Amino acid sequence: MEQNVQENSQEISPVMQIKCPGCGGAMVYSPKTLSLQCIYCGATKELPGVPSEIRENDYGLWSRKKMDDRVYGIMDQPAEDVLVTCEQCGAKVHIDATKSSVVCPYCGTPLMLEKSQVKRFWQPDYLLPFAIDRKQCGELFQNWLNGKWFLPSKYKNGNVLEEKFRGVYYPYWAYGAHTRTTYEGERGKDRKVTKKGSDGKPVQETVTDWTSVSGTVVNDFSNILVPATNSLPAEIIAEHKKWPVGSLVEYTPEYTAGFSTEVYTVDFTEGMNTAKDEMEEEIESDIRRDIGGDRQRINHKDVNYSDLVFKLVLLPLWISSFTINDKTYQFIINGRTGELHGDYPLDKKKIALVVVAVIVVIALLYSLLT
């Protein structure tokens, strides 16, 4: 298998490596100190770490340029696996086509491809550095397990293997827009009326009176985040929506030293469709608030988009998984906030006990009421 990987890989040497000015060893980014740290002598090097003044890319301009092969000719060339040489230990390391940085599995040295070696038109604009380290991941995961009542008890107090956590910078498109939406709809006002029931007794019913309405709502959107790759399960990645984007820093490779970095596989024009779907959900909520009343009907709306902008950002994720009874459960930790989402096995006995308890409670209430 190793031979096949090498035969299908383009060899590139050397790769970009950050060396310690003191001992010449490799330096990695440390979430604990928010600086570079030598893996041999422990020396540190400060990084800027200050939020950047955000510059956006004009969506209309670049979507038009994308149609011009003379300007956009290198857009998203088919990526190739590469074989690189680690300058620290001399090992040949395979970097697959979806990554732009990895860690040498033999000596732990960060290996980062040069921009010219990553077959993507867009390079990251900004990055949110890791603030949660691997040790904290173990603690967060154990606390998460302990809080899952339906998890089989035997898995709650197991030893969490911190080394199984893999730090990844995951690419996202971040979109912004100004929208002006005109709508036509109906406002419903509820009122109570008393009618005679089938048994002759009076009963109250709710009747809604509808009034035609129309209006305009205006929205400003910023940093609507859409994953720029599909390598993680959509249902898990969708849970991670709370990102402190105000702390974005300008992209520099030093922050990725010691972590994997995925390259985008979803084009920025594809991502815009997803972003617009999310924007229109908020627009519809605003229309309903604008209509008012007890109930609302939206019969027609016309959304006008302007000032469309975008940027490519890298966001930090810790990824791991565990296997129980031949089934793999994957989970993800937000590398900035520590928020954790994932799947876990359910204890069928505990579920059965809850179902029985609910049935007993319902039966007791029924007997008391009757």
367 vs 61: which has the higher pLDDT: 61
pTM exceeds 0.85 for this model:
no
pLDDT greater than 50 at residue 107: yes
Once rounded to an integer, what is the mean pLDDT over residues 318-345?
81
Q: Of 81-95, 223-237, 354-368, give the lowest mean pLDDT range.
A: 81-95
- Range picked from 17-21, 52-56, 176-180, 193-197 for highest mean pLDDT: 176-180
Q: Of 206-215, 312-321, 324-333, give the lowest mean pLDDT range.
A: 324-333
334 contacts: CB under 8 Å, gap ≥ 6: 132, 240, 242, 243, 316, 317, 340
Q: Are 337 and 141 in contact (CB under 8 A)?
A: no
pLDDT at 49: 73
Once rounded to an integer, what is the mean pLDDT over residues 160-185?
89
DSSP line for 291-315: H-SSEEEEEEEEEEEEEEEEEEEEE
pLDDT tens across 198-250, in order? 777 888 889 999 999 999 999 999 999 999 988 888 888 888 888 999 899 99
pLDDT at 90: 67
pLDDT greater than 60 at residue 14: no
Q: How many residues does the chain have?
A: 370
CA distance 204 to 156: 52
pLDDT at 235: 84
pLDDT at 5: 34
DSSP line for 184-199: EEEEEEEEEEEEE-TT
Give the Cβ contact number of residue 25 at 10 Å. 17
pLDDT band at 279 (very low <50, low <70, confident <90, very high): very high
